[in-house]
Every structure is written in structure tokens, then in C-alpha cells.
Amino acid sequence: MLEISGLTWAVTIGLIVVLLALDLIIAAARPHKVGFAEATAWSLFYIGVAIAFGVWFAAAYGGDFGTQYFAGYIVEKSLSVDNLFVFVIIMTTFAVPEKHQHKVLTFGIVLALVMRGIFIAVGATLLSLFSFMFLVFGALLLFTAIQLFRHRDEDPDVENNAVVRAARRFLPVTEEYHEGRLVTRIAGRRMVTPLFVVLIAIGGIDLLFALDSIPAVFGVTEEAYIVFAANAFALLGLRALFFLVQGLLDRLVYLSTGLALILAFIGVKLMLHWAHVDISASVPEISTPVSLGVIVLVLVVVTVASLIKTRSNPEAKAHAGSLRATKEPAERES
């Protein structure tokens, strides 16, 4: 059992808040198009911070917990790339000006951290009180994996999202962006801008990803502190990663398939753990090093296969994948 002092929790959360504040200050103080060099520098910085934390954590609490952290970090990082697909779709759908994309992404990261913090607390409590929750989480991940694989060649229908439709129906929305403001006045009438609707869409997507990613990371570690740290450090680099790889995302044609395999694998791992604890100790469990190896192997194979595919067929295009069938354009118009 991992024993984390209140001071360590406070310092960790403080570090996350400082890094988030840095992002917010940059986004608010100097709205601009983020170039490749800047995105690369920030990406390397956040990856370096995550690795440095993992090295310290392994040295302070042991190699086994360190391995759990890195496995959780890689799981969350791989899922965050799929998150980026959806962010790109949202930015394109709502034609978000490049100088405001920084602000939208930072808001998305903050909201994702808040939601995942809530889910981590709830998940850790449920797992500690009810061992059958491992079975529930495992079944949830298997269902998600099957749905993602079935609809791997589709994209989420952002405009048809219930929350976005409700916002457009009940809120007065301006036609244009107004210097990055969320609310403005036109002819004396208070109205929300499209940026406000974009943030609603981002929030809805964050909620869906939290429902999937938290059970997934609990599949490699039961420690709430590791789950939180892995999520936080994976999400912190999401903004920079977006600007770094948005031009390369279309080439990862097998990413959704790979993520479906990873989620299915972790789902089986959770269900085996439940059976080992509640049914019979003779039921085998999958160790964290094996999990880490499988996850890395799947990501490497998926990346290489995707690049080979797009090189031989330049017209092949990646999709974010969807958890339900999306409507055809003709259906939407009718």
C-alpha cells in the first residue's frame, strides 16, 4: 500500500497548479498562433517534467510504484492523442481562429483535470469499498473498446451533441467571434459568442474521456495518487502536443484500433483481478510490467503500421473513432 503524506499531495497539486497558471497566463497575455518550434519546446518541457517526476517517484517509493506511474502515464498519453483528434474536429467545426485555440485548449485541460479529479476520488472510494467494481470497470472498458473498434472509421458528430444543440437552442449566439470574449453585447442585448459554445463542446468531450480514461488507468494501478499524477502530467502537455502534431494526426490511421485493443486489454486485466480476489487465487493476474510492455508494443505497432499505410496510400485518412454510429450527411439535412 502506497503511503503518501499530506505534504506530498500538497506539493504535487501545487506544482500542477503552477504549470496550469503558466499556461493560462501565456494564453491570456499573448493570444497568438503557436508555431512548430514553440510547440516542440513546450512539449519537450512537459515530457521532461513528467519523466523527472517519475524518476523521483520511483527513487522515493520504489521501482514497482514507479513502473505503475509510467504505465499509467503512457496509457493516459495515448488516450490524450485521441482526445486531440476530437479537439481538431471541434476547432474545425466551429472555425476557431488560430489565435484563440491556445485559450480553448488550456480551458479544456483545466476542465479535464477537475473532472478527472472528481472521478479519481469516486473511483478510488468505490474500489476500496466494493471489489466487484473491478468487474464493472473492466466490463465498461470492454464495451468501450468494442464500440470504438466498430466505429473506428468514424468521427464524433460534434454539432449533433445534445449539450451543443441545447446551447444553440436556448442561448443567443453571435455569428462571429468577438476578440476571444465569451459574452458580448449587441444592440443592448447580452449574447454568448461561438467561443462559449466551443467551450461547452470541449467540456462535454472532457466528460466522456474522463469516463473512459479513469477506469483505464485504474487498470494499471489502484493508487489514487499515481492515477492523479499520471493524468495530470499527461494532460499538462496536451496543449503543446496539439500544435505539434495536429498536421500529423491524419496519418495515424490505425490509432483508434490500437486504443480499442489497449482498452480491451486493460478491461480483461481488471476482470482477471476481480476473479483472482473474489473467486479464486488460482486465477492468473497480469502484472504491471507486462501491461506496460503490451501497451508500448501496441502503440509502436500502430504508429509504424499507420505510417506505412499512409505512405503507400496517401489518400488514407485517420479518424478519431466514435462510441456510437454517426448520422450520414443526408440524414442530418433531413
Q: What is the mean pLDDT of residues 146-163?
A: 77
What is the distance between the alpha carbons of residues 199 and 202, in angstroms, rounded to a whole number?
A: 5
- Residue ranges of the domains in the chain? 9-321
Q: What is the mean pLDDT of residues 167-183?
A: 74
Q: Is 31 left (phi over 0), alpha (psi -120 to 50) or beta?
A: beta
Who wins on pLDDT, 88 or 254? 254
Helix (H) or strand (E) holding 57: helix 36-61
The model's pLDDT over 291-330, given as tens digits with 9 standing for 90+, comes to 888 988 998 999 899 989 988 888 887 776 776 666 544 4
| Residue-by-residue DSSP string for 107-157 | HHHHHHHHHHHHHHHHHHHHHHH-TTHHHHHHHHHHHHHHHHHHTTT----
pLDDT computed for residue 330 by the predictor: 40
pLDDT computed for residue 31 by the predictor: 63
Q: Is the pLDDT of residue 23 over 50?
A: yes
pLDDT band at 333 (very low <50, low <70, confident <90, very high): very low
The model's pLDDT over 243-252, given as tens digits with 9 standing for 90+, comes to 777 667 778 8
pTM (predicted TM-score): 0.78
What is the distance between the alpha carbons of residues 98 and 100, in angstroms, rounded to a whole number?
A: 5
Q: Which residues contact 111 (CB under 8 A, 6 or more apart)?
A: 202, 203, 206
Q: Is the pLDDT of residue 224 over 70?
A: yes
What is the distance between the alpha carbons of residues 167 and 316, in angstroms, rounded to a whole number?
A: 34
The model's pLDDT over 102-127, given as tens digits with 9 standing for 90+, comes to 777 777 778 878 888 888 888 888 88
